[in-house]
Amino acid sequence: LEGYTADQVINVYTPAEELFKPEAIQSFNGVDATDYHPPKNEINASNWKDYHIGYCENVRQEGDYLVGDLLIKDKISIDLIQSNERLEMSLGYGALLIVEQGTAPDGTPYQAKFINFIGNHVALVKYGRCGGDCRIGDKQQTPP
């Protein structure tokens, strides 16, 4: 980013209207689920076998949230979910970064914003940037 140093922290705003564009939502349908983010935050043809633990489908907007159905196939990941070690989620995506000064609706000043999201993966994490609001809600838990 021109005008900023490598160690300088900037706020990046994600407008809801960008995340909830129909094409952005559709881009997350069928993406791989991963245990944490892969290096360079990207799943591609050369690394998907190393990081794929399942996939995400039926992505939709529900209120202020992007929601999807996860099918997790990896036994270790299932055990981590059931032991509460991987309940939060983080989106992996590509987006265009626009450098501009502004103020988010909550009053936070920002120096750049993301637009034109393209989904790449959904990462299961212990602690995500969005906190506990972005988590797995298992509706089909098996009885003890």
Residue 128's pLDDT is what? 80
C-alpha distance from residue 1 to each of 41, 83, 103 (Å): 19, 41, 19
Give 37-67 pLDDT, tens digit per residue.
998 889 999 999 999 999 999 999 999 999 9
Question: What is the CA angle 42-44-48, rounded to 5?
Answer: 95
Give 79-120 pLDDT, tens digit per residue.
998 888 888 899 999 999 999 999 999 999 999 999 999 999
Helices (H) and strands (E) in the chain, counts: 4, 6
Q: Tell me how far apart the alpha carbons of residues 37 and 66 are, in angstroms, rounded to a whole number.
A: 18
Residue type, 1: L
Residue type, 135: R
Give 67-77 pLDDT, tens digit per residue.
999 999 999 99
Q: What is the model's pTM?
A: 0.85
Strand blocks (E) in the chain: 12-13, 32-35, 52-62, 65-72, 88-103, 109-125
